[in-house]
Amino acid sequence: MPAKPRIGKLVVIGVGLIGGSFALALKKAKMVKQVVGVGRSRKNLKDALRLGVIDLVETDAAKAVADADLVLIGAPVGQMPGIFARIAPALSPHTVVTDAGSTKQDVIAAARRHLGAHFPMFVPAHPIAGTEHSGAAAAFPDLFRDRNLILLPQQETKASALRLVKSAWQACGSNIVKLDATEHDEIFGAVSHLPHVIAFALVHQLGKRRDAKRLLGFSGGGLRDTVRIAGSSPEMWRDICTANREALVPLVDGTIAELEAARDALAAGDGETLEAMFRSARETRSRWLIKNKK
């Protein structure tokens, strides 16, 4: 006998990989009765409907959220201020709002500004999952299984709202972790946003060469893995990087400094310095991989 759905109406604004997988996971867990999808691309919403990711399409976010139990905003972070402003007047008092944005200080500030009296019902969150694919067609219910879900409740956040969002992500199989927004943005600037900038920069460098086609024809698994994440959505990553630029600029400067040190050692034929850098990096990676296996 399936458990009684705890969420009557879920509205997903931005039915992409994250929003779509959240809907599929809650459906699989029989925790949701109806999913309404809102988005900019008609084709994507059609896909989502056809694939059973959502049950209804609504083009107007304000109309969609009427009487919703939970609203998940899965849109690129750059769109969140506009979405908060649009839905705020239409929210029922009981409606819990959450997001899946990759940056948190900016999203929380925008929610505080635009949701006004409804802000205590907003639970900022960030699922640490994703692939280089985007869109509803890439969604799958197990995307969040055994992955971290960062919750960032604010002082004002209502305990009941927090409980609902937490239990939804637990139903997705996520491991819940609480973080402060500043620390969150610094951590994910380093382990996620920076690697994306680097991967995009490397492929951009190679792709603009006249011999790019011939060159890339000779590449192997090393380059393929190193630049996998350069297949990610340019718009989404533009938004993430600009939203988190305060943390990201010094991080990119740090990589430039590392590459300058490597370059100088190379130019001087200083193999010792290079090897020390490579060896220390390998040790960090091994320690970290061993730790992750536990």
Selected binder of its own copies within 21, 210, 241, 290 (CB under 8 A): 241
Nearer to its own copies, 163 or 238 (CB): 238
Residue 73 φ/ψ, nearest 5 degrees: -100, 110
Whether residue 169 contacts residue 125, with contact meaning beta carbons closer than 8 Å, is answered with: yes
Rounded CA separation 138/121 (Å): 30
- Would you give the binding string for its own copies spanning residues 253-292, x where CB under 8 A is met? xxxxxxxx-xx--xx-x-x--xx-xxxxxxxxxxxxx-xx
Secondary structure class of 284 (helix, strand, coil): helix
Of 84, 119, 144, 188, the one binding its own copies (CB under 8 A) is 188
Candidates 186, 115, 128; CA nearest to 154 is 115
User: Which is nearer to its own copies, 95 or 232 (by Cβ)?
Assistant: 232
Interaction residues for its own copies, span 79-138 (CB under 8 A): 128-131
Compute and round to an integer the Cα radius of gyration of the chain: 21
199 touching its own copies, by CB under 8 A: yes
Minimum separation from the CB atom of position 11 to its own copies (A): 27
Nearer Cβ to its own copies, position 67 or 258?
258
- The answer to whether residue 2 forms part of the interface with its own copies (CB under 8 A) is no
| Given 64, 80, 125, 229, the residue binding its own copies (CB under 8 A) | 229
Nearer to its own copies, 119 or 169 (CB): 169
Nearer to its own copies by C-beta: 109 or 249? 249
What sign has the CA pseudo-torsion 82, 176, 193, 155?
A: positive
Find the shortest distance in angstroms from Cβ 49 to its own copies.
26
Among 192, 210, 290, 293, binds its own copies (CB under 8 A): 192
Select the residue interacting with its own copies from 147, 158, 167, 170 (CB under 8 A): 147
How many Å from the N-terminal Cα to the C-terminal Cα in the chain? 35
Residues 48 to 77 in contact with its own copies, rule: CB under 8 A: none
Q: Given the complex with its own copies, which of 159 and 289 has the nearer CB atom?
A: 289
From candidates 202, 210, 290, 293, binder to its own copies by CB under 8 A: 202
Q: What is 2-18 written as a DSSP string?
A: PPPPSEEEEEEES-SHH
Query: Distance (Å, rounded) from C-alpha 202 to C-alpha 229?
Result: 11
Measured CA to CA, the distance from residue 81 to residue 101 in angstroms comes to 12
- Cβ proximity to its own copies, 120 vs 173, nearer residue: 173
Composition of the chain by helix, strand, coil, percent to 5: 60, 15, 30
The C-alpha angle with vertex 183 and arms to 182 and 186, in degrees rounded to 5, equals 90
Beta strands in the chain (DSSP E): 7-13, 32-38, 56-57, 70-73, 96-99, 122-123, 125-127, 148-151, 175-178
Q: Which of 5, 78, 81, 173 is the binder for its own copies (CB under 8 A)?
A: 78
- Cβ nearer to its own copies, comparing 117 with 267: 267
Q: Which of 93, 117, 217, 293 binds its own copies (CB under 8 A)?
A: 217
CB count, 10 Å around CB of 159?
9
Residues 148-167 that bind its own copies (CB under 8 A): 148
